[in-house]
Amino acid sequence: MVAMGRNRAGRARTDSEPTPADSSGTAPGAAAGGARTHAQGPLARPVDSGLAELLPDRDRPLAWTLLLDGAPQSLVDLADPAYLGFEYQRRLGHLIDLAAPPGKPITVLHLGGGALTLARYVAATRPRSRQQVAEIDTALTELVRAELPLERGWQIKVRGADARAVLERTPEGTVDLVITDIFAGAQVPAHCATAEFTTLAARALAPGGRYAVNITDGSALLFARSQAATLRAVFPEVCLVADPAVLRGKRFGNLILAAAQNPLPIDELGRRVASDSYLGRVEHGRGLADFTAGAVPATDATAAPSPAPPPGVFR
């Protein structure tokens, strides 16, 4: 859920897609009753994982950024849940869009919840989708539900439990898309970045299902290379999406990994990434093999958390 760099990415769905209504007849673009308004100003409150802050977005009158201990986690626009404001969320939005034909309901397991931005996106763009979210910080979930409430009719169930524990209990072959976006503070926890964890995700996927992961890394990209090798040890099809500057180790940032048992939509994903308002590159096949050369998959016995962001990266 940690977001690095610019955060004015815009929509991930196409402008030609209508904004659907939920099952109650309320348009998802309408502000939810009881939602926090900018007139109320910022909010800071301790939660289980640290200090949560909600900061109003100066460009969008019903949008809020969630920070945890100063690290940006999520951006939610209550007037437009299809708006994805962070780079990494937009790239995950592309994968959501490509998970099935436009508008078709899917079953999604979100490991890591934050402000539920991606769950809102799925609900807005794919009505009647069934979604489960694992978010260990129950106080954060209570804060988000109170201040940034979900629309009526959205089938989103949030479980206050460790993501791996939820994944272990997920029935085999029942999920179209697993999205792993797990951070303890500003780092990916070791127990959610292993081959054993990835195998559990693969087991949960229905035929044709896909797995997507958000991580952060920089400099030599040792963690990212190991994570790519970890997914390649479990899935025959893997790709990586990131800013070229991050891939060259020039800056610390987000990297998105996607995996499946069947071929990924690399060409269409590449077109969508190329059309974004910021630089992005898709690595697949030989390019990804070169990226992971010499890297060893992480296991429960050997895994370490992702590196902490450099000082001042969120300023």
| Catalytic center residues | 181
CB atoms within 10 A of CB 39: 7
Q: Which amino acid is at 88?
A: Y
- Rounded to an integer, what distance in angstroms lies between the CA atom of residue 201 and that of residue 210? 9
Question: Measuring CA to CA, how many Å separate 285 from each of 92, 138, 242, 291, 293?
Answer: 20, 40, 15, 10, 12
Tokens coding 122: 């799925």
Q: Which residues contact 287 (CB under 8 A, 6 or more apart)?
A: none
- Rounded to an integer, what distance in angstroms lies between the CA atom of residue 68 and that of residue 74? 10
